[in-house]
Structure 1
Amino acid sequence: MSTFEQIFQGFGVWGWWFAGILLFGAEVLVPGTFFLWFGVAAILVGVVNLIEPLIWQTNIILFAVLSIISVIAGRWFMRRRESAVGDPGLNRRGSRYAGHIFVLKDPIVAGTGWLSVDDTVWQITGPDLPAGTRVIVEGVEGVRLRVRQAD
């Protein structure tokens, strides 16, 4: 009997659960949501062995199959969650205001001015306009909002 066979024959339920916890720990040290799914597969193999003890060859095959399934399911879940929760404009706050209409509190002089939006004061560029004029945000140029007079 080889050393490999001796290790896996004595692995059992606790061995698979311990391997799963080690893989969860590896996920903490090397984040990327990849070790997590291998850990899930190891825990599931332990649960299966709790219900019905399997020979080591079947355990290895079951771990491989469950790893593939959990990685695919995990990637699908993370991609779906990312699109539902993610904020595509998180680091581009100015792009959120494109198309919105605001009223100038200060005039635009020599093509530049200031516009208060929510809790931020933005530098704006556009044609010279007096205070009280309604403007629409056309786009963002770096950290400045580009505006024009609203119709």
Structure 2
Amino acid sequence: MTLVEFIGANISWSWIIGGLVLLALELVVPGGYLLWMGIAGVLTGLIVMVQPLAWPLQWLIFGTLSLVSILIWVRWQRRRQTSTDNPFLNRRAESYVGVEGVLDQPISGGFGRLALGDSIWRISGPDLPVGQRVRIVAAEGAVLKVEPVA
């Protein structure tokens, strides 16, 4: 008995085993797509076990189940909002927008430095003297834009 004859004789189990292989591959190659294709393979195998179908119809069922489940999953992933307890994680400069401080060094030539917390930040804004109170209005990368507070 050749492999092709064996698969043809046990087609429902071939779909189930193929689906389980796809599910196992999802553990190695994450992304979610193989998960849904594996589930579609197992479901196709279960359908073929209950109702024997021709090869083209089996592939149509597998493809349809795969596409529909992947599309539903992608839409759900896009709508799902990820809430976080620290929205400025890895965006530390943006967390300082709206904060006020006093210049320890003057701003000359459009740039200066301002101590905030445990860091000294490069700032940009109009030329201002030492002791001037400033408010951070924007962050561009690691440079904070400031304006004088009246």
**TM-score, L = length of structure 2:** 0.67
Distance 1:105 1:134, change over 3 A: closer
Count of aligned pairs between the two proteins = 142
Equivalent residue for 1:16?
15
Q: Give distance in 2, aligned partners of 1:75 and 1:128.
A: 51
1:75 aligns with 2:43: no
Shift of 1:94: 2.8
Matched ranges for 1:56-95 at <5 A? 56-57=54-55, 58-81=57-80, 84-85=81-82, 91-95=90-94
Equivalent residue for 2:139?
139
Shift of 1:67: 1.1
Q: Give distance in 1, aligned partners of 2:8 and 2:89.
A: 48
Find the structure with the greater CA-based Rg: 2
Distance 1:145 1:45, change over 3 A: same
CA contact (8 A) 2:136 2:147 kept: yes
CA contact (8 A) 1:136 1:150 kept: no
Q: Give distance in 2, aligned partners of 1:89 and 1:8.
A: 57
Task: Give 5+ residue unaligned stretches, structure 2.
Answer: none
Distance 1:41 1:122, change over 3 A: farther
Shift of 1:144: 1.4
CA contact (8 A) 2:124 2:146 kept: yes
Distance 1:116 1:56, change over 3 A: farther
CA contact (8 A) 2:133 2:148 kept: yes
What secondary structure, in the 3-state scheme, does the structure 2 residue paired with 1:101 have?
Answer: coil
Task: Give 5+ residue unaligned stretches, structure 1.
Answer: none
Shift of 1:32: 3.3
What secondary structure, in the 3-state scheme, does the structure 1 residue paired with 2:99 have?
Answer: strand
Shift of 1:135: 0.5
CA contact (8 A) 1:101 1:136 kept: yes
What secondary structure, in the 3-state scheme, does the structure 1 residue paired with 2:60 have?
Answer: helix
**TM-score, L = length of structure 1:** 0.67
Shift of 1:115: 4.2
State the Cα RMSD in Å.
3.5
Q: Which amino acid aligns with 2:145?
A: R
